[in-house]
Amino acid sequence: MDISPKGGSGSASDPKPLDDVLIRLVADFAEDGSFGHRTLEVTSESVRVLEQGDAPSFVIPISEIKSARNEPLVGGGRLEVLTKNGELLPVISYSLTLSAKFSEAARGVEQLAKGEPLLINLKEERLRCANCNRLLPEKDGVCPACVNRGKTMMRIARFMTPYRSKAILLALMSLVTTLLNLCPPLIQGKLIDTVLKNHTELDILWKLMACWLGVLVINSVLQILSGRYIAFLAGHIAADLRSAVYRAIEFLQLTFFDKKQVGAIASRVTQDTDRVWGFLVEGVPYLLLNGLMLVGITVLLFATNTMLAACILSPIPFVLGIGAFFWRPMSQMFHRVGQKWARFHMHLNESLTGIRVVKAFAKEDLEYSKFRGRNNELRDAGVAADGRWYTIFGAMTFFTSLGTLINWTVGGYLVYSQKMTLGEFWKVSAFLGLLYGPLQWFAAVNQWFSRAMAGAERIFEVMDTESEHYAPDQERVKIVGEVEFNNVRFGYDKSNPVLKGITFTAKPGEMIGLVGKSGAGKSTTINLICRFYEPDAGTLRIDGIDYRDIPLQDMRGQIGIVLQEPFLFNGTIAENIAYGKPGASFDEIVVAAKAGNAHNFVLSKPDGYDTMVGERGSKLSGGERQRISIARAILHNPRILILDEATSSVDVETEKQIQEAIGRLIEGRTTFAIAHRLSTLRNASRLVVLDKGEIAEIGTHAELMEKQGVFYKLVEAQSAINEIIGVGAGS
């Protein structure tokens, strides 16, 4: 029972929707308040409620609706509409489980009533797998029980393509090693029957021992070489995998980062790739060698004594059955451990990043309590997974141990009855050790494989997420700087738009000030210009071209940003200034620093331009970081410049220097500025005043002050606050 787009299906008992139905939602309360089924249908013309039959019990034209809302009730809610005559009409009631859906429906009704495009979130977050109906580890995540592990393994194997020759050589060495490992039991059987039993032919003893020594020497050399090849392949494949994941993360859309925290994303690059590496180093060689060994031993056992071989191998189906039965549950448990690791990393990253805030509020104990909670969750998940694993391992050990018992029982009888020689029995016993040892530890390979596949699935989930559309084949575009918003609508949640149809044009070289209360849509406008997000409706053009037709790398390469909290990388001052123009000469860096009013303070540092700024620029003051970011933007030489509260939170003298630097920076560029102090926008070509996602006013500073509208009230309010602060400071 979902909100469905036009043509969507409901339950079997629902009446057939009309062709123009835009929203269709089944409620679980009847008209009298008892449990039942009623259907809400919204078309471009009306809102109606259908009972179990086809006849509507409530109809109101869209043209008569002013607004719609959801009224919370005890145990549920009610969708209501307000008519243009001021009458509030109840439409349909529902339980709390459907409140989110009907909230979306109310937004849709209101959008249609206002003549706006229908922009509601028709897609719900998936909590359960569509195939098996199990709860997902993460909303909209991957179901570990339904992922095709064969395909996952094949994707990992593709990373071996650049090292194909070494992989083939490793496989050949593994085959030879397997054949060599089968030689000692054959030598031992021959030794017993030809030398030790008859106490004759001593020269054969020396020949057999020489052969055994040769096998050991060759085997040791091959093990060393194989180990080095394994280390090479596993290290390079894991490194390539980390690079591929990091590269994929770099090009993910910002909507992905809105839903995930940094620690959780970082665990994909570190924790999960490390699991794949562990399996490649330990699991794959073990699986390859002992898989070949099992085939060879089985053939030799049947060649030695068919009846004894069949008896010895009889417990194997039980071992394989246990492994197959517990495969999926163990995989899910290891996947859950991976999720707990992600949460653990997430909290650790957050608490260490915000350590200054933690100390400022003396909340070390609170953060430690949170850490212990995450740590205990990780512990419990790990204990549960490993506990289950050891239970399975114990059961498999019992059945593998039966092989030894069967061998001595049946084999002993055959030797006693002279149906088998002592040498053959010894050879079978030696093969048995080679057989059941690896077979017993295939469960360990299962554990490695389950952990690795759980990590690989999380890695490929990131790599398969839709990325930003970089089109290398598109024609290069040089931007002049005209930016046009044409009826642009956008919301981080599409059902709750932040920008509601804004239209304005910035001419090349103009400085546009974006003004409004907090939440009015200023930063969202900037985010759209940078194409961090794309409009839900309307168009945004640059130089008359829909900016989605401009290669993303070209567009962003010609946009510069100076943020309220400038981010500096942990490197030298020179490296940070040159970040936007790799390969810039030292002279170019100095010219940019002078233009950004940073040169003098840089020279006052003991190491000058080689001064390390620290993590996030922690070794510099706020004003120094800001001037370096301005110098960085100047050297980048963008056609469109974004200034986001660039002079907030600094002292008057520093602000003066920053303003001088900004004055040089904006020359000849189209500039969009958000300023904390409205007075700093006096020199803007025009001010765009935003109010609740809509443009309230456009004009110069003087024009808007004379108009005494929204901007005038904002300036007056800020002046009053400044006076209060001034009085407080002077008292």
DSSP string, 355-381: HHHHHHTT-HHHHHHHHHHHHHHHHHH
Most confidently modeled of 163-167, 376-380, 434-438?
376-380
127 touches 136 (CB < 8 A): yes
Report whether pLDDT(565) > 80: no
For the segment 137-146, the average pLDDT, to the nearest whole number, is 64
Tens-place pLDDT, residues 244-274:
888 888 777 777 776 666 666 777 777 777 7
pLDDT score recorded for residue 71 = 83
**Average confidence (pLDDT) over 637-652:** 71
pLDDT exceeds 60 at position 206: yes
Region 651-671 average pLDDT: 72
Give every CB contact of residue 678 below 8 A, 6+ residues apart in sequence. 515, 711, 714, 715, 718
What is d(CA 191, CA 416) in angstroms, rounded to the nearest whole number? 20
Closest CA to 44 of 6, 99, 84: 6
pLDDT at 262: 65
All structural domains of the chain, each given as residue ranges with its CATH number in brackets, are 21-113 (2.30.29.30), 153-464 (1.20.1560.10), 480-558+677-731 (3.40.50.300)
* pLDDT at site 72: 81
Can you list the pairs that 504-509 forms with residues at least 24 positions away whose Cβ atoms lie under 8 Å? 504/688, 504/695, 504/698, 506/481, 506/482, 506/670, 506/672, 507/482, 507/670, 507/685, 508/480, 508/481, 508/482, 508/670, 509/481, 509/668, 509/669, 509/670
Whether residue 469 has pLDDT greater than 80? no
Q: Can you give 449-488 as a three-state secondary structure string?
A: HHHHHHHHHHHHHHHHCCECCCCCCCCCCCCCCCEEEEEE
The confidence score (pLDDT) of residue 387 equals 82
**Average pLDDT of the residues of the chain:** 78
Rounded Cα distance between 102 and 495, Å, is: 12
Give 525's contacts (C-beta < 8 A, 6+ positions apart).
485, 499, 502, 514, 672, 690
In terms of average pLDDT, the best of 130-144, 264-278, 431-445, 515-529 is 515-529
The pLDDT of 198-219, averaged and rounded, is 79
User: At 670, is the secondary structure helix, strand, or coil?
Assistant: strand
Picking from 628, 638, 635, 631, the residue whose alpha carbon sits closest to that of residue 582 is: 635
- Read off the pLDDT of residues 672-691 as tens digits, 9 standing for 90 and up: 888 767 767 777 889 999 98
539 has a pLDDT exceeding 80: yes
Task: Specify whether the CB–CB gap between 134 and 128 falls below 8 A.
Answer: yes
Is the pLDDT score of 445 beyond 70? no
Give the 3-state secondary structure of residue 568: coil
The pLDDT of residue 728 is: 45
pLDDT at position 14 over 50: no
Asked if residues 694 and 500 have their Cβ atoms less than 8 Å apart, the reply is yes
Cα dist from 598 to 199, 565, 573, 605, 667, whole Å: 95, 17, 10, 11, 18
Higher pLDDT, 601 or 130: 601
The arithmetic mean of pLDDT across residues 80-96, rounded, is 88
What CA–CA distance (Å, rounded) separates 489 from 130? 32
Q: What is the pLDDT of residue 125?
A: 61
| pLDDT at site 135 | 66
Q: Which of 397-411, 531-545, 609-623, 643-657 has the lowest mean pLDDT?
A: 643-657
pLDDT band at 427 (very low <50, low <70, confident <90, very high): confident
445 contacts 525 by C-beta, under 8 angstroms: no
Evaluate whether 579 touches 629 at the Cβ level (below 8 Å).
no
Residue 473, pLDDT above cutoff 80:
no
AA identity, residue 619: K
Instruction: Report pLDDT for 224.
Output: 87
Token pair belonging to 344 = 């653990």
pLDDT cut 70: percent of the chain above it: 82
Mean pLDDT of 99-104: 80
- Residue 504: per-residue pLDDT: 92
Are 48 and 58 contacting, i.e. CB atoms less than 8 angstroms apart? yes
pLDDT at 724: 66
Helices marked H in 596-668 — which ranges? 599-603, 622-636, 652-665
Q: What is the rounded average pLDDT of the residues 64-87?
A: 86
Q: Which residue has the higher pLDDT, 415 or 697?
A: 697
Reply yes or no on whether the pLDDT at 669 is more than 70. yes
DSSP helix/strand/coil, 83: strand
Averaged pLDDT for residues 512-537: 87
Confidence of residue 485 (pLDDT cuts 50, 70, 90): very high
Collect all residues with Cβ–Cβ distance below 8 Å to 367 and sequence separation of at least 6: 351, 358
pLDDT in tens, 573-607: 888 888 878 788 888 888 888 887 888 888 888 88
| pLDDT (0 to 100) of residue 633 | 83
Given a cut of 80, whether residue 65 has pLDDT beyond it is yes
Query: Is 532 or 564 the better-scoring residue by pLDDT?
Result: 532
The pLDDT score that the predictor gives to residue 126 is 65
Centroid of chain to Cα 85: 49
Please give the average per-residue pLDDT across 9-27, as a whole number. 59
pLDDT of residue 650: 53
* Average pLDDT of the residues in 154-167: 81
The DSSP letter of residue 63 is G
**Most confident range, picked from 309-318, 331-340, 378-387, 660-669:** 378-387
Max CA pair span of the chain: 122
Continuous segment of H or E residues that includes residue 190: helix 183-191
* Predicted pLDDT of residue 420: 79
